[in-house]
Amino acid sequence: MRSFNHENAFTGLEAAIVLIAFVVVAAVFSYVVLGAGFFTTQKSQEVVHTGVQQASSTLEIVGNVYGVGTAATSITMINFSAALAPGGTPVDFDKVVITYSNASVLETLGKIATKGGTVTSGKWGIVTVQNEVTNDNVLEKGEQFDITAKPTNAILKNDQFQLEIKPAVGAALGISRTAPASIQAVNILY
């Protein structure tokens, strides 16, 4: 009779087990690599969306910037109108910070508590709202906020200054102007 060699069958079984182990390890490795790739793609997408949100929340000045003060001496208040840039997202003016600076002064102006209230020295406020959509301090599409800023120090003749409007989200809006050589009660600032 013929005898069967059982070692050949056992070697085939070992080879099958090793092959299956390689396939399982490769599947787990590919799952981990794909998961890391998806995670990286998601993070990149979040960065793009955040960048678009930051850039789209910009403001713009509508019309002229006016300096109001005492004729022939100094400007004490700055008046301007702000609106959303085309495609901009709403801006909450309760969270906006306005700073005033010139060659010798840098100050952060405080916000007055109520819309339409009296703006005192070192403060700024929303005086009126044009085309009001909702009765709040959020600048929305179509609305226009008339803002008055009153720095602590008066602006003198030929004085260059800058107001910077910094929303909580989005790019800051800088307003750079120079006081005229001949100051009137109301001045258009260029």
Per-residue pLDDT of 81-103, as tens digits, reads: 999 988 888 999 999 999 999 99
Q: How far apart are CA 190 and CA 185, in angstroms?
A: 16
Asked if residue 172 lies in contact with residue 160, where contact means CB atoms within 8 angstroms, the answer is no
Q: What is the mean pLDDT of residues 111-128?
A: 93
Burial class (CB in 10 A: 0-12, 13-18, 19+), 187: buried
For the cut 90, the answer to whether the pLDDT of residue 29 exceeds it is no
- Statement: residue 72 has pLDDT above 90: no
Report pLDDT for 105: 94
**Cβ(64)–Cβ(78) below 8 Å:** no
Say what the pLDDT of residue 184 is.
93
For the chain, give the mean pLDDT.
Answer: 88
C-beta atoms surrounding 125 within 10 Å: 24
Tell me the mean pLDDT in the region 59-66: 95
Show the CA angle centred on residue 88, arms to residues 143 and 101, nearest 5°. Answer: 80
